[in-house]
Amino acid sequence: MKDSAVLLITCPDQKGLVAAVSGELYRFGANIIHADQHRDHDAGLFFMRVEWALGGEGEPAFDIEAFRNAFAPIARQYNMDSQLHVSGSKPRVAIFVSQHLHCLADLLHRHQMGELDCVIPLIISNHTNGEPLARFYGIPFHHVPLSTANKAEGEAKQFALLQDAAVELVVLARYMQILSPEFVRRYPSAVINVHHSFLPAFIGARPYHAAHKRGVKLIGATSHYVTEELDDGPIIEQDVTRISHRDQVEDLVARGRDLERMVLSRAVAWHLDRRILRYGNKTVIFD
């Protein structure tokens, strides 16, 4: 629904949590349209996602600020880490890309078709071959060359572009550069990468070559949040396809492109829909 709100909750598992949340929403007259919860028994944590309508035609509008204020004491009582999001505010997303454009093309197409509910104010690349594609979709393209010698200067230019565009989420659509720790700290849990292997297997830049050399029978792709440790962030989505001894590296690369597109687009869509909760190095993905 276009006019809805989402409440995400992480807290220590204890009795009365569902009743406390649903009871307060009922008191405000909320029409709950989706609710889901999960318990991690080992960690002793409770996770919840609730979505409700903000009022349709002929119905009174839901007072989101009054609810926010009224819910604050409940959050404190149960030691909740809570996030309240309203659908009318579309996240602003920057896409980073290098020379491989298949993930970029897929994201831009899905965005044009209305599958990704966001604003894409800019595309940043360390190469120029993505500029015609960006121009086709009417999105500003910025070429920021990077090398070992000028990495700090290049990232400073990227930071300025992201700040000017008020970007909230960065998507690495096969962006083949390692982000600095400063970059990751500026966007905690807000940088999504696609890696062309089934992590934690075959980390690094040439996983299809490593997979072929190892003789695996399955290859995969992984979308994950970026952390300071390479290819080790919380996993959001993964998928695999079967291969055989007949497949060469080029076959693995070609078949892997479809997996990369799918896992990245799903991860971005789930993030935009507020369906992901991160804890430690894991994620909860709500239906």
Do 98 and 20 belong together in one domain?
Answer: no
**1 CB neighbour count, 10 Å cutoff:** 13
Phi, psi of 129 (to 5 degrees): -70, -10
Strand ranges for 135-205 from DSSP E = 141-143, 169-172, 191-195
- Check which CATH number belongs to the domain holding 100 and give it: 3.40.50.170
Give the residue from 66, 75, 80 showing the smallest Cα distance to 30. 66
Phi, psi of 181 (to 5 degrees): -55, -35
Do 77 and 100 belong together in one domain?
Answer: no
Show which residues are catalytic: 231
Least confident of 53-57, 161-165, 231-235: 53-57
Q: pLDDT tens across 217-239, in order?
A: 988 999 999 999 888 899 999 99
Do 97 and 232 belong together in one domain?
Answer: yes
254 in the Ramachandran plot: left (φ > 0), alpha (ψ -120 to 50) or beta?
A: alpha
Least confident of 33-37, 56-60, 247-251: 56-60
State mean pLDDT over 117-132. Answer: 97
Do 10 and 142 belong together in one domain?
Answer: no
pLDDT value for 1: 46
Of 86, 108, 134, which closes a domain? 86
Phi, psi of 7 (to 5 degrees): -115, 125
How would residue 55 be classed by pLDDT, with cut points 50, 70 and 90?
Answer: confident
Do 166 and 281 belong together in one domain?
Answer: yes
How would residue 88 be classed by pLDDT, with cut points 50, 70 and 90?
Answer: confident
Phi, psi of 179 (to 5 degrees): -75, 145
Do 127 and 247 belong together in one domain?
Answer: yes
- SS3 category, 59: coil
The mean of the pLDDT values for the chain is 93
- The continuous run of DSSP H or E covering 254 comes out as helix 249-272
Least confident of 14-23, 129-138, 206-215: 206-215
Phi, psi of 124 (to 5 degrees): -120, 135
- Check which CATH number belongs to the domain holding 15 and give it: 3.30.70.260
Percent pLDDT > 70 in the chain is 98
**Residue 185, pLDDT above cutoff 90:** yes
Do 148 and 257 belong together in one domain?
Answer: yes
Do 79 and 205 belong together in one domain?
Answer: no
Do 41 and 139 belong together in one domain?
Answer: no
Do 127 and 157 belong together in one domain?
Answer: yes
Do 229 and 164 belong together in one domain?
Answer: yes
Of 49, 67, 86, which closes a domain? 86
Do 150 and 53 belong together in one domain?
Answer: no
State mean pLDDT over 124-150. Answer: 95
Of 26, 59, 86, which closes a domain? 86
Instruction: Determine the structural domain holding residue 64 and report its residue range.
Output: 4-86
Q: Total domain count for the chain?
A: 2
